[in-house]
Structure 1
Amino acid sequence: MGFTSNCIHVAILVLSLALVSRARVLDPVDHSSTPEFVRIQGSQFVLRRSTFLFNGFNAYWMMTVASDPSKRHQVTEVFRDASAAGMSVCRTWAFADGSSNALQLSPGTYDERVFQGLDFVVSEARRFNIFLILSFVNNYKDYGGRPQYVQWARNAGVQVNNDDDFYTHPVVKGHYRNHVQRVITRINTITRVAYKDEPTIMAWELMNEPRCEADYSGRTVNGWVQEMASFVKSIDNKHLLEIGMEGFYGDTMPEKKQFNPGYQVGTDFISNHLIKEIDFATIHAYPDIWLAKQNEDAQMAFMGRWMESHSTDAQTILKKPLVIAEFGKSSKDPGFTSSARDLYMGAVYSSIYKSARNGGTLGGGLVWQVLAQGMQPYGDGYEIVLADNPTTAAVISRQSHAMAALSHQV
């Protein structure tokens, strides 16, 4: 899988599609038919007995925003605009731990108002026919994360050394398991459907970007993933499950470390994803951060190697689907222009499309991140407001419809 642009092919394909079909409309879709769960067949996603290839986005903020009923229109706006652009998968947080506007105020104690915000997110996603990937916890202190779980244990007098005890201490692991069970068994106050029975949820994610400084081999994280993946599946065997990995290689195949951006983070893309309860692999990609001192050509070349290496591994070693679960281009990068972002996204999309067209394991990509108008506090440089960025929205829409068309051909 190369990284050179396939824009002409995609443009012709999309032009043909435009002549024979309309893009998805702004109104919510009819859900009168019984919805089905996204499943795995071999190294492909499957929906209603057909290959499911998708284009999607990240919107981590949705539950927090929806916890304020006066701001729920922003969630609706993003789902409506994303649906109009043909996007069909959204990744978002099902956590906010001990912080302001927290979902989990303390271990086992929840703010019902915030939980109802997540209920709204799930119900709106269903209304607009967008599947959700819901993440259970953060690696970082933002929204609480691993540091908050360890601090909760420390506050209770438990002897913990550092944040990496999250993966090994039984008390901390117990807090995490309790949260997982609480979310999975939650009955939506709007739809009256338990989350574990909700087909709109495509997959659960164990953690956003797990890292472990205490053990760079990946073995500590591996043990935790095995334990928690088995636990999730014991409660819910209907939904897919992924880890939340960035894609860093570890000690299983040392020769693969050459593809890392010069360092490790305590995970092992190969061994972590070989765990049988994990249904598909993920990578994240931020060469503008990881290789900040290198020029754009070098960053683009890294991106090509990163995608190709993991796609090959997913096909030949893991034999599981692969999703590029986070990527983007920041307006804070030196010399940023919206046209440079469009070219970068187009190149990533082209590689995903070509892999899928050639029977590869890449099932889709999720750009970071989509916001509604008037959400400047959530901006991080990578944000895209579809209504305000027509050229970027066009790049996204082309990919969405190209992947959807391909779904019906493979």
Structure 2
Amino acid sequence: MFAKLGAFVACATSLVVATSVPSGFVTTKGTHFQLNGKPFYFAGTNSYWSQYTTNYDDINFIFKRANTAGLPVIRTWGFNDANATFTAGGLPMYSAYNSIAGQIVYQTWADGKVTINTGATGLQHFDKLVSIAEQQGVKLIVTLTNNWADYGGMDVYTINLGGTYHDEFYYNPTVIAAYKNWVKTVVTRYKNSPAIFAWELANEPRCEADGTRNLPRSPSGCTAATITTWADQISTYIKSLDPLHLVTLGDEGFFNEPGNSDWAYGGGDGIDFVANLKLKNLDFGTFHLYPDWWSKTVPWATQFVIDHATAQQQVGKPVIMEEYGWLSVAGREQNLGTTSNYTRVEAVGAWQEAALEHKLAGDLFWQFGLEKGLSTGTSTDDGFTIYLENLTESQPLIYNHVAAIKQWL
């Protein structure tokens, strides 16, 4: 499936300038995306779990149902790192499924050495997922590592290569080289596929992680400039491998305003949203929105959306609300032991309204759910899942939102 398109790209790039892209590749124009020469505003979703699904009929069903619902962009993980040298109580501390035989695992680390799994439970599996996305007309944002301990992530590289601190991932040359090796493997494998919307450097990069399952932050080694420098380096490297696909950072969109007492605006986590958005080889910006986890209010979150739309206009690049969610009643009780005066429809609906009013380039809710049709039964629910069959939520937050975006086109 890739060879035929690869031949076309090779022929095309030999005749035209390097910025030309084949049909089906997403590009940018000012503050919005384009697809085949037309504006491409979208509502999309997150389904990290779809790429660990071993039943290909299920993956086909997931992508078909999402696309039919008007969600043509799906963000998923392009990583899973198993640490064979992991010891109970050691760091990074992640769930046991990373080492269960038969599970989808892409890299296995043992005694400081990494083996990339190109077999049926590794990249051959991702080959099939990309092929299904091509068939279904779905565009994938593929995230290449994780700030957090889930599914391996940054600390697996660092701990295996002799590092001590979480933020060494951004400046330790040995760690960077190992990460680049993975990036090169994935990016070059799928560089000719129109199913790839964008390569994403990391899920929610920060100078530190959760403080329990991850390595600690170094005492004085990480600032906003640290991650911006790393993002510049890695995005430039990806563009050297694949100049046709878009590249983004995958951060939560925190601002860096010295003296601002609000932690999401003060730069303490190592993210400078505006500086990152201005980087030459980052094509668009992302931000995430979880006021439940961040101890923020719904009105605060709405202003956070507006502030990113303002940055979009000021820098002149697209910005997407890449993850956003509000806990269900049961999820809030289980995770926080509290109740809220806002329903999910009211909270999420307010952010979607702000995104529409200020014309963000796109948004992807967290996370896509199906109650029927999968061989495994109901899909995973982390408290934020919006099930397509639950019309009380999906009608206003998916179907009506999709219809509102289509009015722009």
Q: TM-score, normalised by structure 2?
A: 0.78
Q: Please point out which of 365, 375, 380 is paired with 1:367.
A: 365
Structure 1 stretches of at least 4 aligned residues deviating more than 6 Å after TM superposition? none
- For residues 36-75 of structure 1, the aligned pairs below 5 Å read 36-65=24-53, 68=54, 71-75=55-59
Three-state SS of the structure 1 residue aligned to 2:137 is coil
| Match status 1:89 vs 2:73 | yes
Distance in 1 (CA, whole Å) between partners of 2:263 and 2:362 is 21
Three-state SS of the structure 2 residue aligned to 1:90 is strand
- The worse-fitting range, judged by mean Cα deviation, of 377-386 and 40-49 is 377-386
| Match status 1:197 vs 2:201 | no
Measure how far apart 1:121 and its partner are.
1.9
Match of 1:121 in 2: 129
Residues 175 and 257 of structure 1: CA distance in aligned 2, closer, same or farther (over 3 Å): farther
Question: 2:370 touches 2:378 (CA, 8 Å); kept in 1?
Answer: no
Distance in 2 (CA, whole Å) between partners of 1:248 and 1:178 is 28
Question: 2:258 touches 2:266 (CA, 8 Å); kept in 1?
Answer: no
Distance in 1 (CA, whole Å) between partners of 2:392 and 2:136 is 23
Residues 237 and 272 of structure 1: CA distance in aligned 2, closer, same or farther (over 3 Å): same
Three-state SS of the structure 1 residue aligned to 2:141 is strand
Question: 2:324 touches 2:366 (CA, 8 Å); kept in 1?
Answer: yes
Measure how far apart 1:378 and its partner are.
3.3
Residues 372 and 401 of structure 1: CA distance in aligned 2, closer, same or farther (over 3 Å): same
Distance in 2 (CA, whole Å) between partners of 1:124 and 1:84 is 14
Residues 256 and 72 of structure 1: CA distance in aligned 2, closer, same or farther (over 3 Å): farther
Residues 378 and 246 of structure 1: CA distance in aligned 2, closer, same or farther (over 3 Å): same
1:333-358 CA-partner distances (Å, limit 9, x unpaired) = 23369x911222222221121122xx
Match of 1:394 in 2: 395
Three-state SS of the structure 2 residue aligned to 1:344 is helix
Question: 1:259 touches 1:309 (CA, 8 Å); kept in 2?
Answer: no
Distance in 2 (CA, whole Å) between partners of 1:273 and 1:255 is 21
Match of 1:4 in 2: none
Match of 1:12 in 2: none
Three-state SS of the structure 1 residue aligned to 2:81 is coil
Match of 1:5 in 2: none
Question: 1:105 touches 1:111 (CA, 8 Å); kept in 2?
Answer: no
Measure how far apart 1:376 and its partner are.
5.8
Larger relative contact order, structure 1 or 2 (CA cutoff 8 Å, min sep 6): 1
Distance in 2 (CA, whole Å) between partners of 1:185 and 1:271 is 28
Distance in 1 (CA, whole Å) between partners of 2:65 and 2:345 is 18
Distance in 2 (CA, whole Å) between partners of 1:280 and 1:262 is 22
Match of 1:27 in 2: none
Question: 1:216 touches 1:267 (CA, 8 Å); kept in 2?
Answer: no
Measure how far apart 1:216 and its partner are.
5.5
- For residues 206-245 of structure 1, the aligned pairs below 5 Å read 206-212=201-207, 213-214=217-218, 215=221, 217-245=223-251
Measure how far apart 1:73 and its partner are.
2.9
Measure how far apart 1:325 and its partner are.
0.3
Question: 1:92 touches 1:132 (CA, 8 Å); kept in 2?
Answer: yes
Of all paired residues, the percent bearing the same amino acid is 33
- For residues 318-337 of structure 1, the aligned pairs below 5 Å read 318-331=315-328, 332-333=331-332, 334-335=338-339
1:59-84 CA-partner distances (Å, limit 9, x unpaired) = 0112211xx2xx33332222222122
Match of 2:119 in 1: 112
Question: 2:76 touches 2:143 (CA, 8 Å); kept in 1?
Answer: yes
Match of 2:406 in 1: 404
| Match status 1:162 vs 2:165 | yes
Q: What is the one-letter code of the residue matched to 2:248?
A: E
Residues 171 and 376 of structure 1: CA distance in aligned 2, closer, same or farther (over 3 Å): farther
Q: TM-score, normalised by structure 1?
A: 0.78
Measure how far apart 1:54 and its partner are.
0.1
Match of 2:177 in 1: 174
Distance in 1 (CA, whole Å) between partners of 2:310 and 2:183 is 32
1:295-345 CA-partner distances (Å, limit 9, x unpaired) = xxxx111111111112111211x21110000001122123369x9112222
Distance in 1 (CA, whole Å) between partners of 2:194 and 2:353 is 29
Distance in 1 (CA, whole Å) between partners of 2:177 and 2:294 is 33
Measure how far apart 1:171 and its partner are.
1.1
Q: Please point out which of 307, 313, 316 is paired with 1:315.
A: 313
Distance in 1 (CA, whole Å) between partners of 2:271 and 2:244 is 27
- Of Structure 1 and Structure 2, the greater helix share is in 1
Measure how far apart 1:115 and its partner are.
1.6
Q: What is the one-letter code of the residue matched to 1:394?
A: Q
Match of 1:303 in 2: 301
Match of 1:28 in 2: none
Match of 1:382 in 2: 384
Question: 1:249 touches 1:270 (CA, 8 Å); kept in 2?
Answer: yes
Three-state SS of the structure 2 residue aligned to 1:381 is coil
Distance in 2 (CA, whole Å) between partners of 1:207 and 1:53 is 23
Measure how far apart 1:261 and its partner are.
6.9
Q: What is the one-letter code of the residue matched to 1:125?
A: A
Measure how far apart 1:46 and its partner are.
1.0
1:32-62 CA-partner distances (Å, limit 9, x unpaired) = xx84211011121111221110000000112
Three-state SS of the structure 2 residue aligned to 1:378 is coil
Distance in 1 (CA, whole Å) between partners of 2:340 and 2:379 is 20
Where structure 1 has 5 or more consecutive residues not aligned to the other structure, the ranges are 1-33, 155-159, 187-194, 357-361
- For residues 282-297 of structure 1, the aligned pairs below 5 Å read 282-291=286-295
Q: How many residues align?
A: 341
Measure how far apart 1:90 and its partner are.
0.4
Question: 1:74 touches 1:372 (CA, 8 Å); kept in 2?
Answer: no
Measure how far apart 1:120 and its partner are.
2.2
Residues 391 and 124 of structure 1: CA distance in aligned 2, closer, same or farther (over 3 Å): farther
- For residues 178-189 of structure 1, the aligned pairs below 5 Å read 178-186=181-189
Question: 1:328 touches 1:345 (CA, 8 Å); kept in 2?
Answer: yes
RMSD, aligned α-carbons: 2.1
